[in-house]
């Protein structure tokens, strides 16, 4: 996509030529934010500063435009700056940005009602927070109180966040070990292994926590029957089923929720990312009435959040749900997902064994390479061709493609061309290096 050097005047008052502005911001990352992150981003080909975005396109300080096929790891499901969401937040901002926390909040009440109507089964009450990891923290606390038990079962390769509780049930030792000891009593089993799950769950298990698709684990969908079996195993032992829909929720997989593909109803569901419409951060933990009564029946303030359920975030959430319905984004995710999967599998055939698998549902798709370096070079090559992608946190051999659900057929074709060229270039480069070493 196009690029040029222009003067940038930022909302914070910066006014420098494009490249000088970029270096000034990167230097502040080095000095005040995270020097290691600055090095990593520059090495990966992302040494620019984002200054604006619209729909599926992001513009940087140097004038470069990128087609966003990462979508904020699932945040920008309705695109960047969707006008209906921005307008709703503006309206709320002009009236009451944050709650005084002493009176009732209209936007929170309406959003909780809408979620109760949309979520599966008997899910009814919502606790609002500000992020996915906070939503999971609430779910774990709820499960302990509601069952009187302290043990949890999670899966290897899972990702539920990096605060202490959610990290404790995240299935990658690399991220857990530096912070140990964490919350005790967590057992990890292989994802999609029903027998291992059945063996791990007992009368001491408070809850099983699962993703409908393992996102950071490498975009691994639940096999047919796995979530249904998990529901039955939990029921057999009196344990709760927590389904983490932070990435899969709100249309991403071609169904409104990932569990809808099997008609499974969890006891507790977590949402975040897409719920804020790409404009406001918000998390949500939704549970059934009996669970809510056990947790908050005696003390309605047992778990609280100062900024959770604030009017701006809830206004964004309400507008987002309207956009998803009005623009038929669940159906569009399924249609564009089929197009993207077919195109990626065609490249897989062309690449031979260098691409191991293309998998996913809707617009949550992973491409697994045989060699991690090829995946990294492909991401870099796509960026040079104006398309943003990234690898999955727990499996760097896998490139994730999660564009906004508003993405067009032409934009999918553009991304596929960039992926094909970048992947074949990376494969050829690595083969050339191996031959030269020999």
Catalytic: which of 48, 68, 244, 267?
Answer: 244
Respond yes or no: is residue 244 known to be catalytic.
Answer: yes
For residue 424, say if its preceding peptide bond is cis, omega within 30 degrees of 0.
no
Q: What is the 3-state secondary structure (H, E, C) of the chain?
A: CCCCCCEEECCCCCEEEHHHHHHHHHHHHHHHHCHHHHHHHHHCCCCCCEEEEEECEEEECCCCEEEECCHHHHCCCCCECCHHHHHHHHHHHHHCCCCCCCCCCHHHHHHHHHHHHHCCCCEEEEEEECCHHHHHHHHHHHHHHHHCCCEEEEECCCCCCCCHHHHHCCCCHHHHHHHCCCCCCEEEECCCCHHHHHHHCCCCEEEEEEECEECCCCCEECCCCHHHHHHHHHHHHCCEEEEECCCCCCCCCCCCCHHHHCCCCCCEEEECHHHHCCCCCCEEEEEEHHHHHHHHCCCCCCCCCCCCCCHHHHHHHHHHHHHHHHCCHHHHHHHHHHHHHHHHHHHHHHHHHHEEEEEEECCEEEEEECCHHHHHHHHHHHHHCCEECEEECCEEEEEEECCCCCCCHHHHHHHHHHHHHHHHHHHHHHHHHHHHHC
Per the annotation, the verdict on 226 as an active-site residue is no
From the list 48, 191, 226, 273, the catalytic residue is 273
- In the residue annotation, 175 being an active-site residue is answered as no
Q: CA–CA separation, 382 vs 417, rounded Å?
A: 9
Q: Please tell me which residue in 66, 159, 191, 226 is annotated as part of the active site.
A: 159
Catalytic residue numbers, as ranges: 159, 244, 273
């Amino acid at each position: 996509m196009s690029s040029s050097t222009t003067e940038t005047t930022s909302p914070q008052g910066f006014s420098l030529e494009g490249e000088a502005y970029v270096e000034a911001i990167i230097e502040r990352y080095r000095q005040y934010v995270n020097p290691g992150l600055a090095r990593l981003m520059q090495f990966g080909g992302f040494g620019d500063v984002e200054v604006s975005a619209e729909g599926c396109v992001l513009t940087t300080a140097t004038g470069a435009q990128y087609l966003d096929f990462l979508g904020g790891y699932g945040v920008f499901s309705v695109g960047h700056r969707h006008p209906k969401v921005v307008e709703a937040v503006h309206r709320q901002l002009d009236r009451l940005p944050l709650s005084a926390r002493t009176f009732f909040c209209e936007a929170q009440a309406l959003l909780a009602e809408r979620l109760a109507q949309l979520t599966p089964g008997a899910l009814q009450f919502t606790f609002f927070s500000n992020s996915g990891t906070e939503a999971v923290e609430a779910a774990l606390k709820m499960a302990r109180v509601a069952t009187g038990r302290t043990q949890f079962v999670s899966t290897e390769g899972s990702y539920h966040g990096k605060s202490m509780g959610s990290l404790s049930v995240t299935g990658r030792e690399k991220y857990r070990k530096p912070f140990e000891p964490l919350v005790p009593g967590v057992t990890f089993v292989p994802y999609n292994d029903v027998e291992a799950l059945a063996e791990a769950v007992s009368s001491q298990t408070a809850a099983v926590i699962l993703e409908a698709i393992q996102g950071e684990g490498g975009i691994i969908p639940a096999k047919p029957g796995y979530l249904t079996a998990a529901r039955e195993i939990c029921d057999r032992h009196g344990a709760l089923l927590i389904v983490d829909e932070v990435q899969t929720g709100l249309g991403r997989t071609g169904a409104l929720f990932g569990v809808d593909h099997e008609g499974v109803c969890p006891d507790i569901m977590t949402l975040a990312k897409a719920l804020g419409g790409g404009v406001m951060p918000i998390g949500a933990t939704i549970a059934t009435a009996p669970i809510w009564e056990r947790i908050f029946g005696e003390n309605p303030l047992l778990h609280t959040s100062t900024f959770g359920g604030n009017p701006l975030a809830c206004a964004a959430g309400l507008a987002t749900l309207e956009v998803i319905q009005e623009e038929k984004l669940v159906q569009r995710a399924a249609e564009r997902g089929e197009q993207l999967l077919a195109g990626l599998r065609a490249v897989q055939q062309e690449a031979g064994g260098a691409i191991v698998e293309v998998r996913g549902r809707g617009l949550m798709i992973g491409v697994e390479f045989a060699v991690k370096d090829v995946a990294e070079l492909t991401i870099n090559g796509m960026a040079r061709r104006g398309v943003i992608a990234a690898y999955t946190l727990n499996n760097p051999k896998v490139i994730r493609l999660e564009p906004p659900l508003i993405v067009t057929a032409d934009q999918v074709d553009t991304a596929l061309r960039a992926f094909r060229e970048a992947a074949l270039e990376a494969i050829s480069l690595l083969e050339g290096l191996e031959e030269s070493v020999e």
